[in-house]
Structure 1
């Protein structure tokens, strides 16, 4: 996965933009954990992969776990961007769900090793990792809620959905569990199989809003 960031383009001591250093560190972390796994990855590995100094690492992060959280949040934003670009509120939400789910799982499947790190290792970081996971899940749930509620009715001319925040979070939790199950069963490289059940889940939960 290529990690994009939105850090401001400030100049560092070498004249290279600070956001470039930050982005390279996230890429370095991604390559290191893909090669060795998070537990075996050291800060030396990260800076070597990023082609920056240890000093540069500590200008942005205080610990290895802080860098992982930043990577997790950046990768999650890119996954959400992929979904957002695939979802067109001008069309019925019912017809948009499968396309959005396909975009999401296609993005996640790009790097199965890193996917495992982002979905599993983040849970081993204690409260900071859980807080990051909550922030990401809240952002995804908010997008789902706004996207579905802002779309027109279903493909058969039915009414538009009114998804509550709790129902949107139910969808996020269900999709996360499907991904975790695939990782546990060594099927992370074929997440396309999750498109159908995830699509059914979103449609079923949204359909409850009509009752």
Structure 2
């Protein structure tokens, strides 16, 4: 299944721009980011190269916008799935399940986010930092919810949130690269999250 750009993440994006972002997402699912050309993007978007260059200066710029939108959608999906009043163990499972559901719907996009984005060097840094900040803040907020407070648990610190995200991303990348069912990561991800979010000295 290929990814579609989340309307809420894109705001009032020009319909042609949205079509091109979806075209890139579809091509990544079909061919991968590196093999994708602007011709592939416009073919999936059913538009022209002229329209593409009216919206984006390059494939790279389109890719960066797609990944920013996808990360924002991921954060929205997780936040929506978690009941802040639930027991903290249950909240962790809700968050992991939402994460895995998102990945299952767009594994090629996720893999390109983890593996291809860093290869773009300095151009990728703002998108990488935005995504990291968005998701670490989300984890910190979720771990400060009523369910965690009732258990007497302190919210995650920013360094621990980064460690949790980094491990989860690598576990995800390995599963996608190996062609395994992404759902295999649910239990290890829950166990690791419980260990990091549970009682700490």
> Normalising by the residue count of structure 2, what TM-score does the alignment of the two structures yield?
0.88
Q: 1:7 to 1:152 in 2, by over 3 A?
A: closer
Select the residue among 161, 166, 191 that pairs with 2:154: 161
Secondary structure of 1:91's counterpart equals coil
The match for 2:176 is 183
Instruction: Map 1:23-62 to 2 at 5 A.
Output: 23-62=18-57
Select the residue among 160, 164, 168 that pairs with 1:171: 164
Return the structure number with greater helix share.
2
Alpha-carbon distance in 2 for matches of 1:142, 1:89: 15
The match for 2:187 is 196
Alpha-carbon distance in 2 for matches of 1:178, 1:146: 23
Select the residue among 92, 96, 106 that pairs with 1:101: 96
Alpha-carbon distance in 2 for matches of 1:195, 1:84: 17
Gaps in structure 1 of 5+ consecutive residues: 10-17
Moved more, 193-202 or 119-128: 119-128
Alpha-carbon distance in 2 for matches of 1:31, 1:90: 37
Alpha-carbon distance in 2 for matches of 1:39, 1:59: 22
Select the residue among 126, 134, 144 that pairs with 1:131: 126
The match for 1:13 is none
Q: CA deviation at 1:36?
A: 2.0
Q: 1:42 to 1:151 in 2, by over 3 A?
A: same
Alpha-carbon distance in 1 for matches of 2:35, 2:177: 20
**Residues 88 and 151 in structure 2, CA contact (< 8 A), matched pair in contact too:** no
**Residues 96 and 186 in structure 2, CA contact (< 8 A), matched pair in contact too:** yes
The match for 2:81 is 86
Alpha-carbon distance in 2 for matches of 1:169, 1:27: 29
**Residues 10 and 69 in structure 2, CA contact (< 8 A), matched pair in contact too:** no
State the structure with more CA Rg: 1
Alpha-carbon distance in 1 for matches of 2:144, 2:61: 35
The match for 1:14 is none
**Residues 7 and 19 in structure 1, CA contact (< 8 A), matched pair in contact too:** no
> What is the count of residue pairs matched by the alignment?
198
Alpha-carbon distance in 2 for matches of 1:106, 1:158: 27
